[in-house]
Structure 1
Amino acid sequence: MSTLSHIKSHDVSEMDRVQTAASVTIPSELFEKMYLNPETSVKGQLRKTLGNPTPVGLMGLIINASGLGCNLMGWGGSGGGGAALVGVSYIFGGVLLTLGFIMEWILGNSFVAIVFAFFGAYTFTFALTLTPSVNAQGAFTASATTPAELAAGQAEFNASIAFFYIFSAVMIFIFMICSLRTNIPFFMIFLLLGLLNVLLACADWEAAKGHMGVSENLQVASGAVAFALSFPAWYIWTAQLFLTVDFPLSLPIGDLSTRFRGASDRKSSQKEVV
């Protein structure tokens, strides 16, 4: 075969390979493993052009939750309710999760985009509340002139911020229901996050009542839950990185999409029966 014929044959082979790769449909289980989002039809080829942003958002959640859990449990002499991790909450929690939200929104992955938007705003809020220059608690104690007035102001602050955790728990509970269309680790993250926020709210309410011992125990329990929720997050993140580098080992994630079929799938099945 001549050199020219060999080049033409190689070019045709490469074109066939590219066309084949472009026309391959990703299985729904793999799609949910990559994006933590039920597969949806979107216009354009952005998912084939841009990288997968989901591990970026997860990375922010993992580092933030892991460190906060250890702090709340007081491991290694740590403490302060996570105040030492304000920078981590801003950068890893707030910035990375917000970047993940923007990129997922661009790709058309609505569910995980909404989740990352919530977590990004949540961690920014948490960090701002603990930032000394913001002095959120100062609004309740600025006019205090006696220890009793100072304690009353702190109690009012604790009782007020507890509602933030409660309504966050309600929203996370709805996320948890929606995650039944994705996979088991993602469902576990929401389950534990909801419990974490309930415990944080109860800790603040007990502190507002002056039950500091009970409040501290609830805070330690919330730290344990925060640390526990990092494990399924670490697992999903590792599974996604393995996919990114085409690692020979593929970690199963317990796909739930076949257990909880979507409304469109049910309608299609009904039409086929009719």
Structure 2
Amino acid sequence: MSSNDVKLNGDHLDELHRFRTAGSVQISAELFEKLYLTPQTVVKGELRKTFGNPTPIGLVGFLIALTPLSCELMGWRGATSSGAAGIATYFFFGGLLQFIAGLLEWVLGNTFPSVVFCCFGAFFFSFGGTLNPNFGAYAAYAPAGEPASAGLATRGFNASFGFILLWMGVMTLIFLVCSLRVNICFFVIFLSLLLALIFLTVAYWLLADDIVGNAGLASKMLVTAGACAFVTCAAGWWIFFAIMLATLDFPVQIPVGDLSRFIKPGGLQKRLQEEV
């Protein structure tokens, strides 16, 4: 083997190593936030040299669960707003994939996306369980002698489910504030999702009040919530596409609007390093 061949093989291995290890390349803050959805100054770890990036896994779970649901809420092509057709999707995409991604983000030290994925994974598990007849969630509200599905129309069920959506909205509001340190796409995701949860809460509480005319207004609230959720998904698909392009070092990159440089860190990372 000639010296030129040895040099070429060495260059090839160096290039391969550059693609396989995130720690071997100095990446910009914007690219870091695009890949990991967490400010670069918050956490640094050696595990990224060994493990892949779990962020797109969590995004796929979130998007495949929420995008069809948003279309159903808007009634596209005659779909109904019950969401029952997607029960399996809520369990395996919305719940399982996001929960796995959240645990992997935790292993890598990415606290913010870990909390986000685990929380919304748990929500989709709960949502799927509520709609699943085997869980008996709405059957418990059905009047005596009537089928289990009658529980979905009762005041007790709709009022109670509205409280779940309300506190999911409070959690999303906290995520919205925190996303000001990440990127514009993440901010749009949480802003539109917060609006969707507000409209859903109003819709279920309107149904719970059982006043003539409320059903029509509640239906409009559900459609509006679906439209807001669709905006959430549009921003989510955008950032998912951006992450996949960046992951493969694609020559064309799309921006996500890095915000971490506008709100400066509070110095926690520096203090932790000084203590060590």
Q: Shorter-chain-normalised TM-score: which range?
A: 0.7 to 0.9
Superposed, 1:68-79 pairs within 5 Å as: 68-79=69-80
2:97 equivalent to 1:100 = no
Q: Match for 1:110: what amino acid?
A: T
Q: Give, in angstroms, the shift of residue 264 of structure 1.
A: 1.7
SS of aligned partner of 2:82:
helix
Name the residue aligned to 1:180: 180
Is 1:258 equivalent to 2:266 in the alignment?
no
1:12–1:131: structure 2 CA closer, same or farther, 3 Å change rule? closer
1:271 is aligned to none
In structure 1, the partner of 2:189 is 189
Return the alpha-carbon distance in structure 1 between the equivalents of residues 206 and 48 of structure 2. 48
Per the alignment, in what secondary structure is the counterpart of residue 81 of structure 1?
coil
Separation of aligned partners in 2, 1:23 and 1:78: 49
Q: Check if 1:48 corresponds to 2:49.
A: yes
Q: Measured at CA, do residues 9 and 72 of structure 1 come closer, stay the same or move farther in structure 2, by a change above 3 Å? A: closer
Residue 274 of structure 2 corresponds to none
Give 1:208 deviation, angstroms. 0.6
The alignment status of 1:215 with 2:213, answered yes or no, reads: no
How far has the Cα of 1:246 moved from its partner? 2.0
Could you tell me which amino acid in structure 2 is paired with residue 202 of structure 1? Answer: V
Q: Is 1:246 paired with 2:257? A: no
Worse-matched range after superposition: 258-267 or 230-239? 258-267
CA distance in 2, matches of 1:7, 1:171: 58
Deviates more, 1:196-205 or 1:5-14: 5-14
Identity %: 40
One-letter identity of the residue aligned with 1:174: I
For 2:256, what is the secondary structure of its paired residue? coil
Q: Distance in 2 between matches of 1:82 and 1:88?
A: 10
1:24 Cα deviation after fit: 3.5
Instruction: Give the 3 Å change call, closer, same or farther, for CA 264–16 of structure 1 in structure 2.
Output: same
**Shift in Å, 1:6:** 5.0
**Distance verdict in 2 for CA 1:152–1:137, change over 3 Å:** closer
Q: Residues 32 and 78 (structure 1 numbering): CA distance in 2 closer, same or farther, change over 3 Å? A: same
Contact 2:74/2:81, CA 8 A, preserved across alignment: no
Q: 1:258 to 1:265 in 2, by over 3 A?
A: farther
C-alpha change, 1:153 and 1:218, in structure 2 (3 Å) is: closer
Query: What secondary structure does 1:133 align onto?
Result: helix
**Structure number, greater radius of gyration:** 1
Q: Deviations over 1:69-126 (max 9, x none)?
A: 1111111011042111111111111111011101111111110000001110011111
Displacement of 1:25 in angstroms is 3.0
Letter in 2 for 1:88: T
In structure 2, relative to structure 1, the CA distance for the partners of 1:240 and 1:15 (3 Å cut) is closer
Please state how far the C-alpha of 1:12 moved relative to its aligned partner: 6.8
* Equivalent AA in structure 2 for residue 258 of structure 1: R
| In 1: Cα distance, 2:27 partner to 2:244 partner | 17
Query: Whole-Å Cα distance in 2 between the matches of residues 137 and 64 of structure 1?
Result: 21
Distance between the aligned counterparts of 1:135 and 1:201, measured in 2? 22
Partner AA of 1:57 in structure 2 = G
User: What SS class does the counterpart of residue 27 from structure 2 fall into?
Assistant: coil
SS of 1:124's equivalent in the other structure is helix
Unpaired runs of 5+ residues, structure 2, are: 272-276
Indicate the RMSD between aligned Cα atoms, in angstroms: 2.7
Measure the CA separation in 1 of the matches of 2:109 and 2:62.
Answer: 21
CA distances 1:207-234 after superposition (whole Å, capped 9, x unpaired)? 0112211111111111111112111000
| Partner of residue 136, structure 1 | 137
Structure 1, unpaired ranges of 5+: 269-274
